[in-house]
Chains A and B, each alone.
Chain A
C-alpha cells in the first residue's frame, strides 16, 4: 500500500507508505516517505485551492478510463438515479493537477478533489500503478504514478450507504454506458467501436442506474463490462460476447415460462399432454424467446437504436443473400444465425457490418440489463 519510486541506478524500489503535508513557497506539498527512512522525502505538489474539511476515510475511490469523457473539463456530479441524491463526483486526474478548468473555484468539487488526491497518494486500495524513476529534484506529479488518462469516481460513503444495498459493482454497466470503463491505472484502453457513450444530463450530471434486480450477482456480466468488452476488437468476437447476454436472459425466460407451464399443468384438472408438448416446444424455441424479450423490453429501448439495429441486421442479411425481416427480433435472430453458422461465407469487406450491428446491439443490451423485469 502506497506509491513506489525506483532508483534507476540500483533498481531498488522504495515504498512510500507515509504521507505528510508541508507548505513551501505558499504551496501545499505532500511529503512521501518510507516509514523506516523518514528523512528521505519525495514531494508531490497540490496546486488547487485546499479544502481539507472532509475526512478522507469517509470517501471511496473507483478508477476508470474513458475515450470520450476524458477532457480536463469533464467534471461531473454523480447522482443515484432512483434515489435522486448526489453520491459523489467523477473527474479526470488532469483536473487534480491543473487549475485551468472551469471547476477550479467550485468549493464542492475542491473538497472532493482534495480527498481524491490524498487517497491516491495513500493508495490504500493497492491499485496497479506506475513506478517512476527517482529524479534529482525529488518532486513528482500525481500523474507520474497514475498516468494522465485516469478518471476518478469519488463517492461519499455516508450518502451511498443511505441507499439500500449500494454496491458500485451494480453500477458498472451504467458507468459503461457513459463510456467509463473500469480500469487499473496501468491499463491502456483502445478506441473501440460499439461503445455507447451517454452524455451527461445538462452537461453537469451523471445519473447512475442500478443493474436490474436479479442480475446483480451474475459473474459473466461483471466480466463482460469490466474486462472483455474493454479490450476485444474483432467484430465477430464482440458479437459473440454481446450475444451471450441474450442467451443469459432468454435462459431465465425459459426457466420462468417452463416453471409456469409445469405449474399450470400440475394444478390443471384437465391435463392435455399434447398441448403441453406444443407449449414446451414453443417456450424452448430460441426465436420465440428472443421475440418475447425484445417485445417486453421494447418500451425501455432507445428508439433510434432499435431502428438502427434492425437496419444493420437486415444489411448483414443481404450480404448473406437472405431476405430482410420486418421485425427487430426476427432480424436479430436471423443475423445471429447467419453469423454463427455462415460467417465463413461473409466477404471480408462486409465484416464491418457486424461492427455496425455491435454498436447498436450494445446500447440495446444495456437498456435491457438496466431495466429487465422478470
Chain B
C-alpha cells in the first residue's frame, strides 16, 4: 500500500489521498468492511451481464477506476495538518482503523473482486490467482471527513450511476450509532430481537427514516433511489453547516420532543370507556409516549423541520430544541390528547394509505407547532386542530 497523492477537499473539509493497493491487500480490508457494516452488504441484483464481463476482464488483469472509501474523523487524529504527516503515518492510521472505513463508491466492483477470488480458489488455478492478487488497483480514501461530508460525497459519486437510495446511504453511514448510548438515547436494530421499550430507546430504522425525511423534505420516505432524489438531497445538504452532526441533532431534538410530550400529557392514558369516545379501531397510541414514538411522527417531524428551515422560519434542530421547552396546551391535557386520538381515528377511517396519511398529518402538526408566524405556534391543542384542517384540504 502506498500513497500516490494527497489533496485537501475544501467543500467537505477532508483530505483525499490516493493509494495504490494490491488486489490482495484491498480484498483483506474490503472483507473487514463488509463484515463490520451490515448495511453495506447488499448486492445489486441487476446488470449481471455487466458484472460477469467485469469478472472476465479482472481475470485478464484489467485496471478498474479508483474505488472511493472514507474514514470518518470521529476519534481520529487526522487534522488539516495531516498533509504534513508522513505517508507512513497516514497508512498506519488507515490500516489500524479498517473497521471504520466505508465504501462510498465501488461496492459492486468489490463484490465482483471477491467473486473472482472465490472462483479462482475453487478452480485451484494458483498461477492466475497469484497474478490476480498482485495486480494493482487505486483507492481514493477521504480522511478525517465528517458524516455529513461523507453523505455529500456519496451522493455526488452516486449521482448518475447505479442507484442507491438516500435512505440506504444514511443507514450505512450512521450505523455506528447502533447499540450505543448517546445522551440517554439508545438506537436498536430490529435484528437484535429487541424492541424499544424504555424511554429513549428507538428503532434505528425509524430514526433513519425520520432523518431521511428531513433531508428530502418529504414525510413519505419511500425507499427508492433516483437521480432527482439525489440532486434534491445535495441541494439541501449544501445548505447545512458541515461542522454540525446533523443526525445527532435530529435525534436529540426528536428525543426532547418525546420527553416534552410525555411531560405535557401529565400521565394521560386513553381509555375508551372512561372517555366515552368511540373509535373505529384501536387508538393510534394510548399514551403520549406510545403516540410520539411511532415512526410516523419521526418522519413527519423530520419533513416539517426541513420545510420550516427552507422557509427560514427555523435555523436548525438546535433552534427547534429550544422551542420544544415552550410547547404548551390551552385546554387540559386529557382534552388535548383525546382530541389527537380522535383526529387520528378519523384519518384512519378514510385514508387510502393510512400510514402515509398519518405521516402527512404529523408533518402538518409540527409545521403548525413550530411556525412562529402561525396562530398555533407552540400551542399543542391548536396545532392538532389546525393540522387536521390542513390535512383535509390536502389529502
Q: Enumerate chain A interface residues (CB-CB to B < 8 A).
A: 5, 7-10, 12, 25-27, 40, 42, 70-73, 92, 94, 98, 100-102, 105, 133-138, 148-149
Contacts and interface: CB of A to CB of B under 8 A. Distances in A.
Contacts of B342: none
Contact of B352 (A12, A70, A102, A135): A70
Nearest to A24: B191
B193 A73 contact: no
24 contacts: A7-B46, A7-B48, A7-B49, A42-B45, A72-B354, A73-B281, A73-B349, A73-B351, A92-B352, A94-B352, A94-B354, A100-B355, A100-B358, A101-B348, A102-B281, A105-B282, A133-B46, A135-B225, A136-B43, A136-B46, A136-B162, A136-B163, A138-B42, A138-B45
Nearest to A94: B353
Contacts of A5: 45
Contacts of A71: 349-352
Interface of B: 42-50, 162-165, 168, 190-191, 193, 223-225, 280-282, 348-355, 358
Nearest to A101: B354
B47 A10 contact: yes
Contact of B47 (A9, A25, A73, A137): A9
Given A40-B45, A40-B48, A136 B164 contact: yes
B190 A136 contact: no
Contacts of A25: 190-191
A102 B168 contact: no
Q: Which of B164, B354, B358 has the most CB of A within 10 A?
A: B354
Given A25-B191, A101-B348, A102-B281, A134 B45 contact: yes
Q: Which of B43, B193, B225, B349 has the most CB of A within 10 A?
A: B349
A26 B46 contact: no
A134 B163 CA distance: 11
Nearest to B281: A102
B281 A8 contact: no
List the 10 closest pairs (A to B, CB-CB), nearest first: A102-B281, A100-B354, A134-B46, A138-B45, A72-B354, A25-B191, A136-B44, A9-B47, A7-B46, A134-B45
B47 A100 contact: no
Nearest to B345: A102
A176 to B, nearest CB: 20
Contact of B280 (A26, A102, A105, A138): A102
A133 B168 CA distance: 18
Nearest to A25: B191
B162 A100 contact: no
A164 B51 CA distance: 58
A26 B225 contact: no
Given A135-B224, A136-B164, A136-B168, A72 B351 contact: yes
A357 B169 CA distance: 57
B225 A73 contact: no
Nearest to A92: B352
A227 B163 CA distance: 39
Q: Which of A7, A26, A133, A137 has the most CB of B within 10 A?
A: A137
Contacts of B46: 7-9, 133-136
A72 B352 contact: yes
A9 B353 contact: no
Contacts of B191: 25-26
Nearest to B294: A100
A10 B50 CA distance: 9
A27 B203 CA distance: 15
Nearest to B49: A10
A26 B50 contact: no
Given A71-B352, A136-B225, 20 more contacts: A9-B50, A42-B45, A71-B349, A72-B348, A72-B351, A94-B354, A98-B354, A100-B355, A102-B280, A102-B281, A105-B282, A134-B44, A135-B225, A136-B43, A136-B163, A136-B164, A137-B45, A137-B168, A137-B223, A148-B353
B224 to A, nearest CB: 7
B158 to A, nearest CB: 10
Contacts of B164: 136
Contacts of B223: 137
